[in-house]
């Protein structure tokens, strides 16, 4: 048996508990159970650590059953365990299609953990404004920022659970609400995004002239309202540490 065949066979034992191919290659197969236990144990622990509030919302039985099904269906493919939790959101969505708050709670936890280790940035501050050449300077979102849309009140449930308060009952809104998730210094945050913000923020994933952003707002809200909106948003973004100035 080649090394490649042995490793494929060992993988089948870990992922599917199928030892038919690997056992004959071993001098003594009894220790295989240790590896199976380590493999599943580390993935279960990884999901539990990544989704503490989803776990609390579902309870041990529901969460662990969903985690076990996810591990059965999705072997890890990244060198870092930190990447493994991402796919669990889709598993939860498929498992509880009528309860969108479950997957959305997990989606929020996943994006907060992504923001936690996103690239460092130096956000634009009011002190920078006087120095900025607005004809050339472009703005972009900090690397940790992302815009999420929620059909449920998952952010309110998350906040209650994070503060060890009784969570509200799950509610599904008529229209989705947008939230911004980002990291300010080393603290991960989220807050609702206004309708105007939700419209323009996706365009700031890449550097963009502030003047172009104002033109978009003028097209949507009219030139008079656009000026006020742009100023309000820029002030809020600077206060939150949400945007970076890029000099072209």
Partner 1 sequence: MPLPAPRFGLGLRKPHYAEFLAGDVPVDFVEVISENFMVAGGRPRDILRQVRERHPVALHGVSLSVGSADGVDAEYLRRLRSLVDEIEPAFVSDHLCWTRFAGFQSHDLLPLPYTAATLAVVCAGVDATQNALGRQMLIENPSSYVSFAADEMSEWEFLREMVARTGCGLLLDVNNIYVSGQNHGFDPAAYLAAIPFEAVRQIHLAGHTSREIDGRGMLVDTHDQPVPDPVWRLFAEAIARAPHAWAMIERDDNIPALDALLAELDVARALAQTIDADQQVPA
Q: Minimum distance between the CB of residue 44 and partner 1, rounded to whole angstroms?
A: 12
Considering the complex, what minimum distance in angstroms separates the CB of residue 32 from partner 1?
Answer: 6
**Which residues, 135 to 174, sit near partner 1 by CB under 8 A?**
143-144
Q: 154-165 burial by CB neighbour count: b if 16+ within 10 A, else e?
A: bbebbbbbeeee
Q: Which helix (H) or strand (E) holds 152?
A: strand 146-152
Stretch touching partner 1 by CB under 8 A, among 24-32, 60-68, 162-170, 194-202: 24-32
Residue 150, strand partner residues: 177
Return the range that interacts with partner 1 (CB under 8 A); candidates 38-46, 96-104, 154-162, 238-246: 38-46
Contact call for residue 31 and partner 1 (CB under 8 A):
yes
- d(CA 28, CA 208) in angstroms, rounded, equals 63
Q: Report the C-alpha gap between 5 and 21 in whole angstroms.
A: 9
Position among 80, 127, 166, 169 found at the interface with partner 1 (CB under 8 A): 80
Most distant pair of Cα atoms in the chain: their distance = 80
Cα separation of 176 and 178, whole Å?
7
Chain residues that interact with partner 1, rule: CB under 8 A: 1-4, 6-8, 10-11, 14-15, 24-35, 38-39, 42-43, 46, 75-82, 84, 115-120, 143-144, 183, 186
């Amino acid at each position: 048996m080649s090394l490649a065949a042995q490793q494929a066979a060992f993988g089948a034992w870990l992922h599917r508990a199928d030892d038919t191919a690997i056992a004959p290659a071993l001098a003594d197969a009894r220790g295989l159970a240790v590896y199976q236990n380590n493999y599943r144990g580390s993935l279960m622990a990884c999901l539990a650590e990544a989704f503490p509030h989803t776990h609390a919302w579902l309870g041990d039985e529901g969460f662990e059953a969903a985690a076990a099904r996810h591990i059965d269906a999705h072997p890890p493919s990244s060198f870092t365990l930190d990447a493994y939790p991402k796919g669990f959101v889709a598993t939860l969505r498929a498992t509880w299609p009528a309860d969108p708050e479950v997957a959305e709670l997990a989606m929020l936890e996943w994006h907060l953990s992504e923001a936690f280790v996103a690239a460092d940035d130096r956000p634009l501050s009011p002190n920078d404004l006087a120095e900025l050449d607005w004809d050339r300077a472009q703005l972009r979102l900090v690397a940790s920022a992302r815009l999420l849309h929620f059909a449920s009140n998952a952010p309110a449930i998350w906040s209650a659970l994070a503060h060890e308060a009784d969570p509200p009952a799950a509610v599904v809104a008529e229209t989705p609400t947008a939230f911004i998730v980002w990291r300010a210094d080393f603290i991960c945050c989220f807050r609702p995004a206004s309708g105007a913000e939700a419209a323009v923020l996706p365009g700031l994933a890449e550097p963009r002239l502030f003047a172009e952003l104002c033109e978009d707002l003028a097209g949507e809200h009219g030139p008079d309202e656009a000026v006020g909106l742009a100023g309000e948003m820029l002030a809020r973004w600077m206060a939150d540490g949400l945007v970076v100035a890029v000099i072209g």
